Structure 1
Amino acid sequence: MTGGVVGLLAIAVVIALVGIANTLGLSVLERGREHALLRALGLTRRQLRTMLGAEAVLLSAVATLLGTGLGVVFAWAGVRALVEPAIEGAGVVLPWEQLAVVLLVSGIAALLAAVLPARRAARVAPAAGLALE
């Protein structure tokens, strides 16, 4: 059963990565002029890639924390409704180390998902990006 849950978690992570990459890709396309203006004002290619990577990590961290919070609330409700009536003294025990690892892995995965959109944004010359309509 644990293997099945881990497999479902892996599928959810892959779907989340595709979503983050898609969101960043659209962000790069929609904010092309903004990126070009930042580059024209002195932002280097590396700084632009770092900015987009930070955006991806923040997006991933918020989603992970929100999902973890909702999961904890639902787990607590499930334990209260199903386990406590059957087993006296049962309670929710949170694996803090595993939750921290999930947060760390989601941040790393977000950085990996941001590589291609950040490259695309950094390749556009400032003058060409400002000419986009």
Structure 2
Amino acid sequence: MIRQVVHDGVVHKVRRHLEPHAIWIRASPGADPAQLGGDLDVLADPVGATIDNGLRTWESLDQQLGILTWSALGLIGVAVVIALIGIANTLGLSVLERAREHAMLRALGLTRRQLRRMLATEAVLLSVVATVLGTVIGVGFAWVGYETFVTRALRDATMRVPWLSLGVVVLIAALAGLLAAVLPARRAARVIPAEGLSLD
């Protein structure tokens, strides 16, 4: 049984004096927030209405996210440069410490090209293994943060791992390791076997 709370006569009187207090407008996909906001301002100014433009809010949030994204990419770029320097220094020290070993390999018939290829492979393996380990640890921390904070605030949120982007990162790391191995490998290949065997 439904009980009427307000009399029909009261409802009829109220309806005659009703005025719109809010109008919702749905923008079409791909609408320009600035142009739409300007058009709405032109319509709202004569009647003294205020515009709450959600597209402008989303545009501002998108700009902030873009700034954060580029800042993160900048930090990643700095980290890559530091990693390149670290790999180059590691290989450089390895070349100095294993000069006799390289000279022995050269004396046994290893060509300069093969020696450079060996050091380049070592650098690629070093960078790829470090990148894979860092990626696994990073994804693990991301999952912990997702389960700890995101699921509590947004129950319908889902975590998606960008495997394609991570694969590109691993490929770039391999190329970076190969680039870092150029100078140490060239230095090792220039050593004459007789001189290398005489080193202490």
TM-score (norm 1): 0.98
Task: Name the counterpart of 2:110.
Answer: 43
Q: Which residue of 2 aligns with 1:75?
A: 142
Q: Distance in 1 between matches of 2:160 and 2:74?
A: 22
Aligned residues: 133
Aligned to 1:91: 158
Please tell me the residue identity of whatever aligns with 2:154: I
Structure 1 segments unaligned to the other structure (5+ residues): none
Partner Cα distance (1:38, 1:58) in 2: 21
**What's the counterpart of residue 81 of structure 2?**
14
Q: Once the two structures are superposed, what CA deviation does each residue of 1:108-127 show, in whole Å capped at 9, x if it has no partner?
A: 01111000000000000101
Which TM-score applies when normalising by structure 2? 0.66
Amino acid at match of 2:181: A
Residue identity over aligned pairs, in percent, reads 65
* Structure 1 counterpart of 2:164, one-letter code: E
Q: Is 2:184 aligned against 1:131?
A: no
Of 108, 123, 127, 1:56 maps to 123
Task: Please report the RMSD computed on the Cα atoms of aligned residues, expressed in angstroms.
Answer: 0.6
Matched position secondary structure for 1:42: coil
Offset of residue 89 of structure 1: 3.0
Aligned to 1:25: 92
Aligned counterparts of 1:94 and 1:50: Cα–Cα separation in 2:
34
**Aligned-pair CA distance for 1:62:** 0.7
Give the letter aligned to residue 79 of structure 2.
A
Q: Which has the higher contact order (CA 8 A, sep 6+)?
A: 1
**What residue identity is the alignment partner of 1:86?**
A
Based on CA coordinates, which of the two structures has the bigger radius of gyration?
Answer: 2
Q: What secondary structure does 1:89 align onto?
A: coil
Matched residue, 2:36: none
